[in-house]
Structure 1
């Protein structure tokens, strides 16, 4: 009986020890791993910060900067660069077969002539506008004029209107010719697309039709 009681006491005393050991084995090891991971993270964070500070001081690029530089911004669309417009060389202007190509001096002369003609026509239009305004004012004040005076004023007014319309048409043709010279289409017929001819363009810088199409236009008109 004494031996049985002693055995029971031994079992009771050793059982809690096994349970404690089991708990320690089950619960203490993860805790140790967790604390090790925390220590590693805490150690790595200052190291990364120090590395970033060192990179800023030395001017060395970081890996993050390289990645952000190589990636386009969100929502941005890649666009191809627009090449600059190429200036047309004088010898690329249209000429008839057998004619010499345009030289830079000849192109400069044509550009100067057209530009000065534009300025002249604009001044002429301003003068015609002022003259027409004076004639219209006089026609309103001439209630006591006789028929001869009224007829003279009407003829003068019609003449000024005709001059202004002619100057306006020539101005538009000259401006179009200058634009065609800058665009490289100077000397090409606007109807058939064939070369007008260098000699004709030098004689009539505002020409937009070749001889054949010009003659057809005159016959229809």
Structure 2
């Protein structure tokens, strides 16, 4: 398997007037994404364990009234929603790392224009420039 191409910091897209990405800034972005990935994997595992425990306990509802059953259902659904959200964020985080390796980190996936270094530093999983993001939200 060929070794993935790792972007040279100065090659990552920036908006006019922005300084190019430095090696330290790229390393910081990569580290932040990797730490976030580890945190999300841990969160997913905890949510899945909680759901498994709730599922196991749901069969043991003898004597529960409707309120107890409803509370258990709401808690289980909440844990499932948390796990689904964490999985989506993990996918976005892994995609950002792939884009960093490919040299497309910071380029809008819709129009191809630079997203902006400040936006990428504030929201490292961003895939759209502000114009495209606003158009997406209006739909």
TM more than 0.5: yes
1:149 to 2:81 alignment? no
1:209 to 2:128 alignment? yes
Structure showing the higher helix proportion among its residues: 1
Report deviation, 1:212: 1.3
- Helix, strand or coil: the match of 2:86? helix
Matches within 5 A, 1:1-221: 87-220=6-139
Q: 1:86 to 1:205 in 2, by over 3 A?
A: closer
Report deviation, 1:85: 6.8
Q: How many residues align?
A: 137
Q: 1:168 to 1:87 in 2, by over 3 A?
A: closer
Larger radius of gyration: 1
5+ residue gaps, structure 2, are none
Q: 1:116 to 1:86 in 2, by over 3 A?
A: closer
Q: Moved runs in structure 1, 4+ residues, more than 6 A?
A: none
- Helix, strand or coil: the match of 1:96? coil
- Helix, strand or coil: the match of 2:127? coil
5+ residue gaps, structure 1, are 1-83
Q: Distance in 2 between matches of 1:161 and 1:150?
A: 17
The 8 Å contact of residues 110 and 128 in structure 2, kept in 1 or not, is answered as yes
Q: Distance in 1 between matches of 2:27 and 2:5?
A: 18
Q: Distance in 2 between matches of 1:144 and 1:96?
A: 63
Q: Please, what TM-score do these two structures have when normalized by structure 2? A: 0.94
Q: Distance in 2 between matches of 1:123 and 1:166?
A: 13
Higher relative contact order (CA 8 A, sep 6+): 2
Q: Distance in 2 between matches of 1:147 and 1:88?
A: 57
Partner of 1:13: none
Report deviation, 1:214: 1.2
Report deviation, 1:216: 1.9
